[in-house]
A and B are shown apart, each in its own frame.
Chain A
Amino acid sequence: MPKDEYQSRDFKVVGTRPIRPDGIDKVTGKARYGADITAPGMLWGAILRSPHAHARIRGIDTSKARAIKGVKAVITRDDFTYQPEDSDMADILDNCMAGETARYDGHAVAAVAATSKSIARAALAAIEVDYEVLPHVTDVDEAMKPGAPVIESGRQQENVPKGYSENVTGRSQYGHGDPEEGFKQADLVIKRSFKTAATHQGYIEPHACLATLGSDGQGDLWVCTQGHYMVRNVCAGVLGLDAGQLRVTASEIGGGFGGKTHVWMEPTALMLARKSGKPVKLMMSRDEVFRATGPTASSSVDVKIGMTKDGKITGAAATYRLQAGAYPGGIAFLSAMCGFAPYDLENVRTEGFEVMTNRPKAAAYRAPGAPMGAYPVESVIDELCQKLDLDPLDARLKNAAREGTKSSYGPTYPAIGLEATLKAAQSHPHWTAPLGPNQGRGVACGFWFNFGGDTCVSLMVNPDGTVSLSEGNPDIGGSRASMSMMAAEELGVPLDQVRTIIADTASLGQNEVTDGSRVTFAVGLATIKAARHAVEIMKERAAMTWGIDPEAVDWRDGAAHPAGPNAGKFPPMTIKEIAAIASNTGGPIAGHHEVNAEGAGVSFATHMVDTEVDPETGAVKVLRYTVFQDAGKAVHPDYVEGQFQGGAAQGIGWAINEEYIYGDDGRLQNAGFLDYRIPVASDLPMIEPVILEIPNPGHPYGVRGVGETSIVPPLAAIANSVSRAAGVRLTSLPMSPPKVLAALKAE
C-alpha cells in the first residue's frame, strides 16, 4: 500500500459546499433514470415469477401467450442456450431465469415482450407452469439442521464441519489469542444470542433497463445500476457475448445501497430483445423488487465477551450464521471480520456460517455483514458496562483500536479515527443532555473496510481551456460534484470550468462497481492523478513555448510559471492560453489514469441516540441522534453529512420496523412499502452529523470512503438506547412494538 500518498495542503475547492452539477436536472424532473427512456419500436417486457418457495418446474406451456396479438417474444430458460462454465455466472443465469427448480417465491420462470404493458400482463397470465411443490426452508437456523430441505446439493465447501445440512455452504474463521483464557481473567462474562431480520435496501427506483441485441451479437443496454461495467461483463458472461460488442450506459440511479451491484434481470431484457428483434424496456414493480432482488441476510448470532471491573475486554468470541438465500455465497465472513474490528483485543475468535435458504439471493446492502456483525458485540459491551457500572464511552475508549493495533480480522491498522469519534462523542452536549422518564441513551461503534479497486479516469483539456472529466462509476449521491472539485483543486481552476460525466462502457476502461464506499476515494485518486498527468503535459507545452526545460516550470493557480529566477522571466501561461495553442505545440491535451486503487483507509463511527419507549404499547420513538464519523477528508461536506444521515436513517429502520416476513407457505407477506416499513419523515428527528478528519495515508487528500460505515452502529446504538429506556435487554431485530411490549411484560 502506498503509504506516502497523503500530503497536507491548504484546499481552495475541496471542503467547500458548491451546488451539485446534476442538481438542476434533478429538481426539474429532467434527469433520466432507468425507466425514463424510450426507443423507436420499443416493446414492453414483463416477467412471470414463481408463487412457490420451492418447486420443481415440470413444464411451461407458453402457446396461449404466444397466440395473443401484440406478443412478440416469450422466453423461458430453454431460450438461454449458452451454458456458462463459470459457476458464479451459472448461478446468476439461474437466478435470472429458473432452470429445473424455482428456488424462492418470486423466482423468474418466464418472460414476455409485447407492444403494450397491458398485453404483456395478459401474456404472463396466459403462461401455464406445471409446478411440483417441494418442501422449503426460509429460516437460517432451521436450514442448518441435518434433514432440512436442501436447496441445492453439492455446493458445500470442505471447510464446513460435519453435522450440518448441505445448506451450510461455507465457514470462515478469524481472530487471534485464546478467548477461553481471556474469559478466565474477566470479572464478568456475558454470553447472549441475537437475531436480525432480513432487510431490503429499499431504493425508491425499481430496477429498469432498455435493451437492444442483434443477431450479430451487438447490443446496447441502458440501465440503472451501481456498475455498468459489471452489468456488461455479467450479461456477456451469462449470454456468451463478447463484452466489447455490448455497450452499457448507466442511467441516473434512484438509489442502490448495494442492491444495484448485482444483475437481476438484464440478461432477460437482452434475450427478449434478441428474440423479438426490437428494443425492449423491462421494469420491475415494487412487488418484484422485494420478492426477486436481494435483501441483506437475516442473522442468528452468539456472542461471548469477558470484561474486567475497570472495563478491559479480556476475551471475545462470536459465531455468525447468515442466510445467503437461494444460491451459495453469503456475507457471514464479513460479519465475522467486522464485529470486533473497533477493538484492540488480545483474545478474539469469530466464525461465520453461510447458509442457503429458499429466499431471494442475498445481496450487498451498505457495509454488507457489518451491521449484524457489530450489533451483537456492541449490545453485549453495553450490557457489561451496565452491570459493571462503567461509562460506555470510557469503556470503548479503553479498548479502542488505534494505529498499530492488530485488528481482529488480521491486518495491523495505520492511522485510524475511532478514538477521535469517541472523544468527540464524549465532549458533545448530546452526551450530557438530561433524559426524561421512559427514555434511554445508547451508543455504539462501527467499522467498515472501505475499498478501492479497478478505476479509470480521463481528463480532457478542451480548446477553450475548460475541462471535461470522464469517469465510469454511476453517481449515486453527488460524486460528479466531488470529482469536479478534486480536478479543479488539482488544476487550480474554478470549479465551473470542469464538467464530469459518467462514460459508457465503450468509452473508458474497466471500472469496479460503485461499492465499498470506493468512489470518492478511488475515482478521486484517479482524478487527481489524471489531472497531474494533464498538468505535466501543460508544463511541457509551456516549457516548449518559453524554450526552457519542463523541469523549470511550476504549476499553480491554473497556470504554468517559471520555477524561479534562473528559469527565465516569462509571464505565466494560463490553462486557457496553453489550450488555445495546443494544436501547434503537439496536439490535444488530456490526462488519464488507470489503477487498481489500494490504500482505502478503514473508517470508524460512533453513534449516539436517545429513544423513548411507550411502556403500554412498546412503541419506540427516536428523539435525538448524533453521528460521529471519520471522513479522512470531507471533499463536499454536505454530501458527507448526507451519507452519515442516510446511513443512520436506514439503520433506524432496520432496528425498529423493517423486516422480511415469511408465511408458513414460504411466501413473502410484505412485498410493498405499506408493510415493509422504511422510516417516513415524521418518524425521525434531525440527525446531527459530526465530521472528523483523520487523513487516510493512502489518498493524496486523505480521503476515506464514508458511505457505508454510517449504517453499522445504529442497530446496536438503538438497541442499547431502547434496552436502557425499557429496563430490559432486547436481543432481536426489529424491535417492533409487539416484541418490545412482550419483553416489557416478561420482566
Chain B
Amino acid sequence: MRFETPTSVDQAVALLAADPEARVLAGGTDLLVRLRAGQVAPSVIIDIKRISEMTVISQEDGGWRIGAAVPSAEMNEHAALKADWPGVVEAADLIGSTQIQGRATLAGNLCNASPAADSVPAMVVAGALARIAGPNGTRDVAVQDIPSGVGKTSLGKGELVTSIYLPPKPAHSGDAYLRFIPRSEMDIAVVGCGVAVALDDQGKISAARVALGAVAPTVILSQSCADTLIGTTGDDAALDALAAAATAEAKPIDDKRGTIAFRKDVAGVLAKRAAKIAIARAKGEA
C-alpha cells in the first residue's frame, strides 16, 4: 500500500485515475475504520490535505466554498458561515466527537455515502453543489446526486469531490437539521431531517426544502413534505401535515439502530421540530 500526498488537484486526479484501487483520504474517520476492519485494502492512499485550495473556506459569489479537506471543527469556528447556514454547520458539528470533528469533512461525509450521514440532508436542503474534478475537467453536481446507494457514489473513474459550495443565503430564509440518536452524542443517526425555508413579505413560506436521512438507501429530498409548508405560515396544522408527509415518505428498514415503525414516527417528529427552528431563523427569531 502506497501513500501519496499530491499538492495539486491535477496530481490527485492523475493518481486516482491511474489506479482503480486508489482511495482518497480526507479526514480519514471512515476510511481508517474500514482499513482496520479489513473491509478495504487500497493499493494507494491519496491524502488530499496537502492541496492548499482544498483546505480553505472562502466566500464566492455571495455563497461559501468549503474545501474537501476542511474539518468540521473549522466550519463550526467560522462565524460568518455559521450565520448564513447554521443548519449545515450544526449538522457537520454532529458528526462524531470533538476528536472526530478535528478531522471529519463535509466532502468525506458525502462520499462515504452512508444513508445516515448527518451533513447530507442539511446540505441538500441548502441547495449545496459538489464540485468534482476528474480526468475530463471540473463539473458541479447537486449534493443529492452524489450518493447512489449504500456506500456507493456517482463519481466516475478518477473523479473526486474537491469542494462543497453553499449558495448565497436567500432573504428571510433559515435552515435547520436535527437527528435522533439513542445517546446524546457519539451515535449514528437513526433518523435525520434537514429543513430550509424562505418567507415572503407577508411572512408566509414561499419556498421550502425538506430532506430525510437514514430512512432510505440514500437521502430523500421530499417535494411532498415541502408542499405542506409552502404557502403557510408554518402553523400547527401545516406542521402536523409535514409530520404526516415525512412519516409517509420515509422508507426505512429494521436494523440494530431502530425499527421501521420507530423511524417513520420519528421522521415526522423531527421534520416538525426542524421546521420550527428553520422558520424561527427565517424570521430572525433564532
Contacts and interface: CB of A to CB of B under 8 A. Distances in A.
Interface stretch (B20-28, B152-160, B229-237, B258-266): B258-266
Nearest to A124: B38
Contacts of B185: 680, 682-683
A674 B188 contact: yes
Interface string A106-134: 00000000000000010001000000000
Nearest to A657: B182
Interface in A634-675: 656-657, 661, 669-670, 673-675
21 contacts: A287-B37, A617-B265, A618-B262, A619-B180, A657-B182, A673-B186, A674-B187, A674-B188, A675-B188, A677-B182, A677-B183, A677-B186, A680-B184, A682-B183, A737-B182, A737-B190, A737-B258, A737-B262, A741-B262, A741-B265, A742-B261
A734 B250 CA distance: 26
Interface in B173-194: 180, 182-188, 190
A675 B182 CA distance: 10
A738 B256 CA distance: 11
A141 B38 CA distance: 35
A598 B44 CA distance: 63
Contact of B256 (A656, A661, A680): A661
Interface of B: 37-38, 180, 182-188, 190, 256-259, 261-262, 265-266, 269
Contacts of A216: none
Nearest to B255: A669
Main secondary structure of the interface of A (DSSP, over half): loop
A677 B187 contact: yes
A680 B269 contact: no
Contacts of B266: 616-617, 737, 741
B184 A737 contact: no
Contacts of A657: 182-183
A690 B102 CA distance: 39
A670 B265 contact: no
A288 B182 CA distance: 24
A675 B256 contact: yes
B104 to A, nearest CB: 14
Contacts of B259: 738, 742
Interface in A732-747: 736-738, 741-742, 745
Q: Which of A121, A125, A741 has the most CB of B within 10 A?
A: A741
Nearest to B37: A287
A679 interface: yes
A569 B215 CA distance: 89
Contact of A679 (B37, B183, B261, B265): B183
Contacts, number: 59
B186 A680 contact: yes
A618 B259 CA distance: 13
Interface string A342-383: 000000000000000000000000000000000000000000
A41 B190 CA distance: 48
Interface in A707-747: 736-738, 741-742, 745
Given A669-B256, A738-B262, A674 B186 contact: yes
Contact of A619 (B38, B182, B261): B182
Contacts of A679: 183
B148 to A, nearest CB: 25
A674 B38 CA distance: 18
Contacts of A121: 38
B258 A683 contact: no
A683 B183 contact: yes
Nearest to B270: A617
Contact of B180 (A125, A617, A675, A682): A617
A541 B107 CA distance: 78
B256 A737 contact: no
A125 B182 CA distance: 35
B221 to A, nearest CB: 23
A675 B257 contact: yes
Given A657-B183, A669-B256, A742-B262, 15 more contacts: A121-B38, A125-B38, A287-B37, A617-B180, A617-B265, A619-B180, A670-B256, A674-B188, A675-B188, A680-B185, A736-B182, A737-B262, A738-B259, A738-B261, A741-B266
A243 B286 CA distance: 70
Contacts of B262: 618, 737-738, 741-742
B82 to A, nearest CB: 21
A15 to B, nearest CB: 36
A742 B184 CA distance: 21
A314 to B, nearest CB: 40
B61 to A, nearest CB: 38
Contacts of B190: 737
Contacts of A680: 183-186
A682 B184 contact: yes
A348 B202 CA distance: 71
Interface string A604-626: 00000000000011110000000
A742 B266 CA distance: 12
Contacts of B269: 616-617
A683 B188 contact: no
A736 B182 CA distance: 7
A675 B186 CA distance: 9
Instruction: Give 3 closest A-B pairs by Cβ, nearest first.
Output: A738-B262, A682-B184, A616-B269
Contacts of A670: 256
Nearest to B257: A675
Contacts of A745: 265
Nearest to A684: B184
Contacts of B265: 616-617, 741, 745
B241 to A, nearest CB: 16
A661 B258 CA distance: 12
B38 to A, nearest CB: 8
Contacts of A738: 258-259, 261-262
A741 B180 CA distance: 13
Contacts of A741: 262, 265-266
A679 B184 CA distance: 9
Contacts of A287: 37
A670 B265 CA distance: 24
A287 B262 CA distance: 28
Contacts of A618: 262
B77 to A, nearest CB: 20
A626 to B, nearest CB: 21
Interface string A268-305: 00000000000000000001000000000000000000
A675 B188 CA distance: 8
B189 to A, nearest CB: 12
Nearest to B190: A737
A220 to B, nearest CB: 30
Interface in A684-724: none
A619 B258 CA distance: 12
A616 to B, nearest CB: 4
Contacts of B258: 737-738
Nearest to B260: A738
Contacts of A673: 186
A745 B269 CA distance: 14
Contacts of A736: 182
A662 to B, nearest CB: 10
A661 B255 CA distance: 10
A122 to B, nearest CB: 10
Contacts of B188: 674-675
A680 B184 CA distance: 8
A650 to B, nearest CB: 15
A493 B257 CA distance: 57
Q: Which of A287, A617, A736, A742 has the most CB of B within 10 A?
A: A617
Nearest to B254: A738
Nearest to A661: B256
Contacts of A737: 180, 182, 190, 258, 262, 266
Interface in A113-159: 121, 125
